[in-house]
Structure 1
Amino acid sequence: MILKITLIGLIVGVIGTGLGGILAVLFNEKASKYMSFFMGLSGGIMLSLVMFDLIEEAIEGIGIVYAVILIFLGALATKILKEKVKINGENASGYLMLTSIIMHNLPEGLAIGTTFLAEPKRGIAMAAAIGMHNLPEGLALALGFICNKASGKRAVIMSMIAGLPIAIGCFIGSSFGEIFSAIIGVLLSIAAGMMMYVVMDEMIPESKSIYTIIGVMLGIVIVKSIA
């Protein structure tokens, strides 16, 4: 089971961001025209999954008070880590985005692993949603490198590297969850806080257009329809 979940994380992470990187290389600046919609769509999907699935499962496991506290701590930890990241030199913007994506892909993998243990169908839905939002992440990351005159090969490789922490998170989440099943709610709460911060601080605010709003609304509808 652990190997299966880890493999799912590897596929979701590397292929998701890798495809985004390939799109950036193929379409270059043209691909950026669709960023607002896809970022909004993925943001809406992720926000809905956090609100309607992760948090609900966490509250069932540890109660609303502890869940709220840990969600806040997860978001705060992500904010502090993000502020501590300082990268300089050539392709600084690309590496900064790479660090940011790696930083939140780990808890996303953790979310897949712990959610998969609690309810496999929900875990698969979570993996699919994360895979979908990894595509615009990989696209944005690769464009950051390409705009700084990095090679297409380098941009794609960096995009794929950004997805690896999802597999690591899946392994840790599934292993830790099986041994200490009583604290799955704790892990889900922390992951929910981290993911919520990323969506609200990075994904939706960075894409300011009507297409972002349409994407967010469509993402929410998709999740509610599946649920």
Structure 2
Amino acid sequence: MAVLVALGSFLLTLVGGWTAQRVTDRRHLVLGLAGGLMLGVVGFDLLPEALDGAGEDVYGVPAALLLFVGGFLAAHLVERLLALRKAEHGAHDPDQVPQVGLGAAAAMVGHSLADGVAIGASFQVGSAMGFTVALAVVTHDFADGFNTYTLASAYGNHRRKALAMLVADALAPVVGAASTVFFTIPAQPLACYLGFFGGVLLYIAAAEILPEAHHRHPARSTLLCTLAGVAAMWLVIGTAAH
């Protein structure tokens, strides 16, 4: 059952990526919307889930928040290392670092794999919980597909690479759900992962996507797209919770 439900994630991820391809002439609006969606996912979905299940405080600070900051710093370190590598190789376009886009898209694939594992694990508890978790996952997979294609293509990668990352992101929830047939996933490690990934995603949104969106087009419409992305994720996650 979990694998069949995860097929909904597969389809909506592809729809999200297809939508991102159709609006390449409005790149700044796409990036603004993607940044808002990512902020919404972190603030309304990933971080609350991590705080609920990551366990005890560590020296007065919730473990989920320590992992959240660790994820942010890890993403910053990776981005700096890639930037240094680009400088050493004399990249021609200073605004494009293909490895950053592929790395960010790969992180989205990892998140989608964890989404699939979450679906499978929830069905191990019961059908009612399984369908509730699946609804929350499936409804934000449109944003995942949109972001994965945008992240891969926005930094100079060829369209074929972006499509390959999109397909990998679409398949990841199905693979994750299928994997839980063979084992039971503990809740605490999954919550810890969500905290860490939330920090990674926040860095990508705040330090990469949103500055790029406003760099050449500091328009009011770009800001409105960002606000719309945040509001859309609030609506989607709030609806799924009820």
What is the one-letter code of the residue matched to 2:175?
F
Per-residue CA deviations over 1:169-195 (Å, capped at 9, x if unaligned) read 763586379434253333333333333
What is the correspondence of 1:1-227 to structure 2 with a 5 Å cutoff?
3-4=3-4, 7=7, 10-21=10-21, 23-24=22-23, 28-29=24-25, 31-32=26-27, 34-47=29-42, 48-52=44-48, 54-59=49-54, 62-64=55-57, 65-85=62-82, 86=85, 93=96, 95-116=98-119, 117-118=121-122, 119-120=129-130, 121-135=132-146, 137-139=148-150, 141-142=152-153, 145=156, 155=159, 157-166=160-169, 167-168=171-172, 171=175, 175=179, 178-182=183-187, 183-208=189-214, 209-219=222-232, 221-223=234-236, 225-226=238-239, 227=241
**Separation in 2 of the partners of 1:185 and 1:40?**
23
User: Relative to 1, partners in 2 of residues 1:7 and 1:205: Cα closer, same or farther, differing over 3 Å?
Assistant: same
Aligned residues of 1:12 and 1:130 also touching (Cα < 8 A): yes
Percent of counterpart pairs with the same letter?
Answer: 11
Amino acid at match of 2:102: T
Equivalence for 2:217: none
1:20–1:138 contact (8 Å) kept in structure 2: yes
Give the C-alpha shift of residue 215 in structure 1. Answer: 2.0
Shift of the alpha carbon at 1:81? Answer: 2.7
- Whole-Å separation in 1 of the counterparts to 2:206 and 2:139: 20
Checking the alignment, whether the CA contact within 8 Å between 2:38 and 2:201 is kept in structure 1 is: no
Higher helix share: 1
Q: 1:170 & 1:76 partners in 2: Cα distance?
A: 30
Contact 1:9 1:112 in 2 (8 A): no
Name the amino acid aligned to 1:73.
G
What is the distance in 2 between the residues matched to 1:18 and 1:108? 19
* Shift in CA distance, 190/164, structure 1 to aligned 2, threshold 3 Å: farther
Give me the TM-score of the superposition, normalised by structure 1: 0.68
Consecutive unaligned residues of structure 2, counting only runs of 5 or more, are 123-128, 215-221
| Residues in 1 aligned to 2:177 and 2:79: alpha-carbon distance in whole angstroms | 22
1:211, CA displacement in angstroms? Answer: 1.6
Q: Deviations over 1:103-129 (max 9, x none)?
A: 321332244134322453234323432
Query: TM-score normalised to the size of structure 2?
Result: 0.65
| RMSD over aligned Cα atoms | 3.7
Which secondary structure does the structure 1 equivalent of 2:212 belong to? coil
Distance (whole Å) between structure 1 residues aligned to residue 233 and residue 9 of structure 2: 23
Structure with the greater alpha carbon radius of gyration:
2
**How many residue pairs end up in the alignment?**
211
